[in-house]
Structure 1
Amino acid sequence: MNLQTAFTILVAIYFVLILIVGLRSNKKITTSSDYSVAGRNMGPVLGTMTFTATYVSALTVIGLVGSANGMGLALVPYTFLGLGCGLLFLVLMSSRVHRAGRTSESVPELLGKRYGDSSVRVTSAGTIVIAYFVYLIAQLFAVGILLSTTIGFEVWAVILVVGTIFVLYTLTGGMQAVARTDAYQLVVLVAAVLITLVLVITKVGSDGLSWSDGPGLSQFLGGPVPTWMLAFGWGLSWGLGVACMPNYLQRILSCPDVRTTRLVLGWGSAISFWLVNAPILVIGIGIAIIDPSMTGDSALPSFLLTHGGTIIAAIALTGLISAVMSTTDSLLHVMGVYFGRDIVCTLRKTADDATALKLSRISTGVIGALAVATATFMSFSPLPLILTFASYAVSLLAAGLFVPLFIGLLWQGASKTGAVASMVVGVIVLIVFEVLRKQGVIELHGIVPTLVCAIIAMVVGSWWDGRRVEATATEPTTAEQPVASTV
């Protein structure tokens, strides 16, 4: 049996099992809370596994390997410092997020209650849905590239098949289905990363190659990261984006108590960083040293096909598929819940639980179908690197969500006007500065001025609300005076 046949059979079995596990979770869904936050009953083991599986995405496994393959150690300041700091910040803030969201089923609902205004809830939900739509398309590209490289299927056909599977079980089982499928997928994807790491290290040693080989791979600055200022900007972008990723925060809201939240975020972040991020950097550089012709997002699957052998390659490639699936379902779940509950229900002023559950499922199906259709259409054109494509979504999240969420939790004086202003200003400034950077006008990453402007907008807007409150409180009241009667 050749590799393509073995991999096809293994992937088919994997898809069937995941679909069964996901669809069976539908029996546990009776309320909107079950669908959105798994009934707030997610234990430390399941929570850690689903958090880690969500973090280890196509962006992490395929995108980072493809980028490390060409950038080498330049990827460290580019993303790794940012990712590590972002995870650390999220761990430190997890208890505060859990306490603030103990009666909320989503991040936008948490923000709406914090600022006491529905416009904050709707604006934040819209920002997240737009950013995650871009992110989801990047994930679909990854699975299309992976299966087209290994089995020879057309990218568009792979996107349609895989899209149908994860949309189906996500819209029926919600967070219950996402978390349970993530637990199984984590085992497969971690095994795949470690197997590939051993294979790369063994290959470099047996071929008598040096880890310092390869022009530019041993340099921290070079290629697309020529200066420390740009490296700082990319690191800041990824750090802020990771800290406010709604699919991570949604797992905080799913935990029953603060202790469980700390365990989930602590262990999940440690596993994500040391068992995934660090090995991936080694894998990417190793592949570039072993075979410089293997580049970009197809480098990892191409390496496994060429050097893995039937069994090892089939297992590792299946693990890559699980990395994609474990994140696409989380992204779609967040978008469906946020659009259905936080946008549609809020605008319609509907508080009925059954209606919220129904709209969340409908939104999940519609958004999923639209994302699959968009990715399928775009697959007929040359695709950018997954890491580059996904970085737009991460930067957008950092620009629109970080300041109103975390400054709002840390500063009691933050107000609804400041929150909305920081979201709008942050997104606009990011787009303007990124366009200027792409045109070569500036070198500075847009997230740096974006963060400064978003903080200023928050302070000014909150100051404005404070002045209005003071003016209202000091306004003289004219009590009715009795009219003197004339005799």
Structure 2
Amino acid sequence: MSDLSATPTLGWFDLSIFGVMLILSALVGIYFGISKKQDSAKEYLMGGKSMGMIPVAISCVASFVSGITVIGVPTETYQFGTQYSIVAISFILIGWTVATVFIPLYSKLDISTSYEYLELRFDRRVRYFCSLVYLLSLMLYIPVVIYVAALAFSQVTGINVHLVTPVTCMVCIFYTTMGGMRAVVWTDALQTVVMVSAIIFVMALGAEKLGGWGRVWEINEAGGRLQFFNMDPDPFQRQTFWTALIGIYFMFLADCAIGQSFVQRYLSVPDQTTAIKTVWIFAIGLSVTLLLSVANGLLLYASYAGCDPVLAKRASKPDQLLPLFVMDVAGHIPGFVGLFVAGVFSAALSSMSTGLNSLSGVLVSDLLSNVLSKKISTGYWLRIVTAVVGFVCVALVYIVENMGVILQGMHSLNGITSGTMLGLFLLGIFCPKANSKGALVGSAVSLCSLGFIVFGTQYSRNTGALVDKVLPVSVDNCTFTTNFTLSQSDGFKQESEEAWLIFKISFRYYTLLGVLIVLIVGNLVSIFSDSQDIKDKPINRDLFCPLVHRFLPNKTEEEEMPETNVLMYQHNKE
């Protein structure tokens, strides 16, 4: 695949496939909006706790596997090799952790958002703080998800990113607002089928064009892309076995264990046993989907090993490589490119709909519950907030175009908030002596520290003090005529000055670093601010992991009475 001078265009048949996907998604929202009364938070946010295990698990996969994964992971593999595939092991470990530690905890508490746990364990200030941090993280995440899908669409159609974004997002906002959790879950199931079909078709056709997977493997081995066991423990290495296994374990645990969008789903099934099974299906499905995306990255390199499209000026950004590849191998097949674009947008819309649904839950249940008029039902307030947040996210798409490589940029931004939030929950679940003052100070220090590191690192990259060394690429086999010339900026950039050591730490470790700061600072502050009323406060064992029950005081008769603080909280909430 050396002669890449011609780029096909998207036909009407391809566009119709994309349009059918949007129409079906809208119809699902209309159906559940009309057929199901969703006036309460439990109905709108958790589907009345009557959702099925398989649809919920598929919905979790769809929400997690956004366009950032479908496009970002192949790009990651193309530029940095297959070391990222070790994340599949991390997902299995995450599934075990969620199923054994977090699901039993949530199942005992009648809550609408995961952050209500923090009020039970600490106080309302901690809950509000974490809710605000989560709000910030999703407001950063959703626009990136939308932008990635629009970028793919623009690559294969030539239509401006900012023209396609509002139309597709309006559909997503519509069905999410109308149908609530039920619509989100069932559109996710539909969109997952489209997304996985697109990934598999790209793999099959691409491998056939290259002469089979044996040939693909040979080319990647020759190009140094096959890297699975780089056991270097250096935390300043961008990607090793340990950064993929440990760093990403904590990064994604923050999403899967405490993220409201996933906790809502775990709580939408009838009981704890079903929730645990749902988590395991989710973890396995996520691992398989990730490995499929890595395989597409191998196809990318095998196809462009001798003629890198970015150096050859056929693509302006590495994240445009997969859409370009699809056009090159399948642009002549009616409907194929349309299926791919629909798949990428399906991944984006499922993540967006999930984010909007969970954001509305956090805003209405956690942050605005005391100021919203009781004359309007909670269900209607949730719909109003969903629509407003959706339009804000669409507007934010206009400021995310300069993030560099999407997967790394998103993980870096996510590290600021995910470490702080996960640290708060782990402090509450595993540290019985931690108090609310320690939780607030620890989380504030973590948030500020990670913000300094992430933005300092980005500044170092922009000034040339810090450069990620990608694996070698070539234009030696380009056979078409073009006006491109190679410069230092096209190849390996040289660091203009030495970046601070803290800015060189792998971005995979940002979440782990945030967790450690919360745990260390939170426990130290709790020790030095421990007061008698904290010592005398009754201990509710349901708020702690069973692993630390042996370190808790024995139950007294007073603690065994029905009116525990959890029951009193639930009564007051009603």
Aligned to 1:59: 68
- Higher mean Cα deviation, 462-471 or 7-16? 462-471
Contact 1:238 1:395 in 2 (8 A): yes
- Tell me the alpha carbon deviations over residues 441-480 of structure 1, each in whole angstroms, 9 at most, x when there is no partner: 022244444222110133134435643426889xxxxxxx
Q: 5+ residue gaps in structure 1?
A: 474-487
The match for 1:326 among 315, 334, 350 is: 350
Deviations 1:301-344 (A, max 9, x none): 11111112334333233222211111111011111221122111
Letter in 1 for 2:208: T
Q: Distance in 2 between matches of 1:87 and 1:138?
A: 26
Aligned to 2:31: 24
Shift of 1:365: 1.5
Matched with 1:399 is 419
From 296, 300, 308, give the equivalent of 1:287. 300
Select 2:20's aligned residue among 9, 13, 17.
13
Secondary structure of residue in 2 paired with 1:212: helix
Q: Deviations 1:248-275 (Å, cap 9, x if unpaired)?
A: 122112222101101111111101112x
Residue identity over aligned pairs, in percent, reads 19
Cα distance between partner residues in 1 of 2:222 and 2:166: 38
Q: Deviations over 1:20-66 (max 9, x none)?
A: 11122223212221111111221212211211211221121111122
| Residue correspondence of structure 1 range 322-361 to structure 2 within 5 A | 322-346=346-370, 348=371, 352=374, 354-361=376-383
| CA distance, structure 2, for counterparts of residue 186 and residue 317 of structure 1 | 13
| Residue of 254, 260, 270 corresponding to 1:256 | 270
Per the TM alignment, residue 11 of structure 1 is displaced from its structure 2 partner at its CA by 0.8
Q: Which runs of 5+ in 2 are unaligned?
A: 1-7, 311-317, 461-498, 538-574
2:405 counterpart (357, 381, 385): 385
Tell me if the contact between 1:94 and 1:252 (Cα under 8 Å) persists in the aligned partners.
no
> Relative to structure 1, is the Cα distance of residues 470 and 15 closer, same or farther in structure 2, using a 3 angstrom cutoff?
closer
Bigger CA drift: 56-65 or 355-364? 355-364
Residue of structure 1 in register with 2:261 after alignment: 247
Tell me what 1:114 maps to. 121
Q: Which amino acid aligns with 1:358?
A: Y
1:38 to 32, 47, 50: 47
Specify whether residues 236 and 266 from structure 1 end up closer, same or farther in structure 2 by C-alpha distance, changes over 3 A only: closer
> Which deviates further from its counterpart, 361-370 or 155-164?
361-370
Distance in 1, matches of 2:406 and 2:208, equals 27
The Cα of 1:297 is off from its aligned counterpart by 1.6
Aligned residues of 1:51 and 1:251 also touching (Cα < 8 A): yes
**DSSP 3-state at the match of 1:196:** helix
Shift of 1:411: 4.0
| Structure 1 residue 277: Cα displacement | 0.6
- Cα drift, residue 190 of structure 1: 1.7
Q: Does 1:416 align with 2:436?
A: yes
Per-residue deviation, 1:93: 2.8
C-alpha change, 1:5 and 1:88, in structure 2 (3 Å) is farther
Structure having the higher helix fraction is: 1
Q: What TM-score, normalized by structure 2, do the two folds share?
A: 0.74
Describe the shift of the 1:100–1:125 C-alpha distance in structure 2 as closer, same or farther (beyond 3 A).
Answer: farther
> 2:21 & 2:247 partners in 1: Cα distance?
36
Report 1:452-467 matches (<5 A): 452-464=516-528, 466-467=530-531
1:130 aligns with 2:191: no
Secondary structure, counterpart of 2:186 in structure 1: helix
CA RMSD of superposed structures (Å) = 2.9
TM-score normalised by the chain length of structure 1:
0.86
For the Cα contact (< 8 Å) 1:188–1:319, is it kept in 2? yes
How has the CA–CA distance of structure 1 residues 201 and 389 changed in structure 2, closer, same or farther, with 3 Å as cutoff? same
Deviates more, 1:356-365 or 1:330-339: 356-365
Out of 279, 298, 304, the position equivalent to 1:265 is: 279
CA contact (8 A) 2:210 2:303 kept: yes
User: What secondary structure does 2:368 align onto?
Assistant: helix
Answer with 353-362 or 277-286: which moved more: 353-362
1:233–1:444 CA contact under 8 A, matched in 2: no
Letter in 2 for 1:301: P
Aligned to 1:441: 500
- 2: CA distance, partners of 1:112 / 1:351: 23
Looking at structure 1, the residues matched to 93 and 375 of structure 2 have their Cα atoms a distance apart, in angstroms, of 38
2:172 is matched with 166
In 2, the alpha carbon distance for the partners of 1:122 and 1:75 equals 35
Per the alignment, residue 181 of structure 2 pairs with 175
In the alignment, which residue of structure 2 is the partner of 1:195? Answer: 201
2-side partners of 1:224 and 1:329: how far apart? 35
Measure, in 1, the Cα distance between the counterparts of 2:519 and 2:261: 24
> What is the match of residue 370 of structure 1?
392
d(CA) in 2 for partners of 1:352, 1:255: 28
Contact 1:189 1:322 in 2 (8 A): yes
Find the counterpart in structure 2 of residue 477 from structure 1: none
Contact kept, 8 Å, 1:426 with 1:450, in 2: the verdict is yes
Following TM superposition, by how much is the alpha carbon of 1:214 offset from its aligned partner in structure 2, in angstroms? Answer: 5.7
Gap change, CA 1:409 and 1:40, over 3 Å in 2 = farther
